[in-house]
Amino acid sequence: MAHRNRQKRNVMNIVLVGKTGHGKSATGNTLLGRKGFVNASSTTSCTETCKLESVKYGGVILNVIDTPGLMDTGKTQTEISDELANIISLCPDGFHAFIFVLRWDVRFTTEEWNTYIILKRHFGPDFLKVCVVAFTRGDVYDLSETDLPFEQWLKKQDGVLPGLLEDINNKTVLFYNNAKYPYYHKKREESIDKLLQLIRRSDLVYSNKIFEKAAQERKKMAIEQKLPQLQSKYQTELSLLGVKIHDAMENSEKSLEELEADNTIKILTKSAKRILNLIEMDDSETGLLDDFRQRMTHMIEMISTLNKSQEQRKLRLQKIAEYNRLTKNPPSRFKINALKIGLILTTITGCISAALTYVMPPLAFVAVGAGDLALVSASLITSENEELSEYDETVKELKDEIDSL
């Protein structure tokens, strides 16, 4: 909200804004009572930079700032923003009024309306509270064929002008900048008095703090101006990346060696993140490039899905390679079968020797030897069984994993 100042104003800071040719400088000269600003109709160049002139009027110091034609053809939003920032710097204490200068005898078209919209967006909503429309060429109006008072004439206007007047709560004044004849001297003073009365009624000061609050909108306007170029740029970037993603998806059935050597996904991910970062930088939190941000986010998700698919395929191929290696050279089962036969024979020999011990005692050592041999054979069989069991379990696990991938 604009800063309120209810004390009696001994100083009023006033800014003249609008298009070239509507009488900004002439209105400023009327307020000054002298030629402090150069008119656009002058043989010399018109206002090119912001200029401040002061005058004391009725006990009040008027600081009047004339501005270039901010909305003139060819100026970028950045140039306009720089000029407006320069305006703010001229009066650190803030402004009591923005005087939007218009010629009453020039039809208020969409072009003039756009000028007003640009001013409102640059300065923010509080601009409306301190904006007064000054219609110039009052002397020409008095000589026109209309018999209506100027206020009544305004009410009969159509098009977009009524919208502007409603926005500023109908704060208008008709200026008589042609002071060549004594008749207009009084009209001139009446115009100034009415303007100061309207300014006092608003009871607001537009400060630098308020101007800073509108910074995001100014940033948005600057991006809007170059939006077609940005859209073309990112449409091309996304199209090229989309083709690369499509090609990667089409060529996903690669061998294990190709997958292990391939860095396509890494390159795609890096490119996608780079483009997304550029989009976010150019967007500057305005939301103007949200469509491209969403599309880029979707592409990153596609790359991530493709990466998961390739990693899964790589894992499956690795498991298949391991399975083939194991099943190609399985552990020999002949050894364990021989051990089993040997164990049986040793056991039989031991039993026979044990029986003969009673008949022929010298054969006792044969029985003992056969028993020891049987124990060794049994131990070897157990070890070989464990090895075969572990092998069979590993092979089964690999097969199950391959089937699940």
Question: Residue 237 half-sphere exposure, CB side, CA atoms within 13 Å?
Answer: 21
Residues 190, 196, 200, 203, CA torsion sign: positive
What are the residues facing 65 on neighbouring strands?
A: 15, 52
pLDDT tens figures, 77-91: 777 777 777 888 888
* pTM, entire model: 0.64
pLDDT tens figures, 228-280: 999 999 999 999 999 999 988 888 777 777 777 788 889 999 999 999 999 99
Are 150 and 174 in contact, with CB atoms under 8 Å apart? yes
Residue-averaged pLDDT of the chain: 81
Are 290 and 276 in contact, with CB atoms under 8 Å apart? no
Q: What is the pLDDT of residue 45?
A: 44
- How sure is the predictor about 356, in pLDDT bands with cuts at 50, 70 and 90? low
Q: What is the pLDDT of residue 44?
A: 46
Ramachandran bin of 5, using left for φ above 0, alpha for ψ from -120 to 50, beta for the remaining angles: beta
Q: What is the pLDDT of residue 378?
A: 54
Q: What is the pLDDT of residue 233?
A: 96
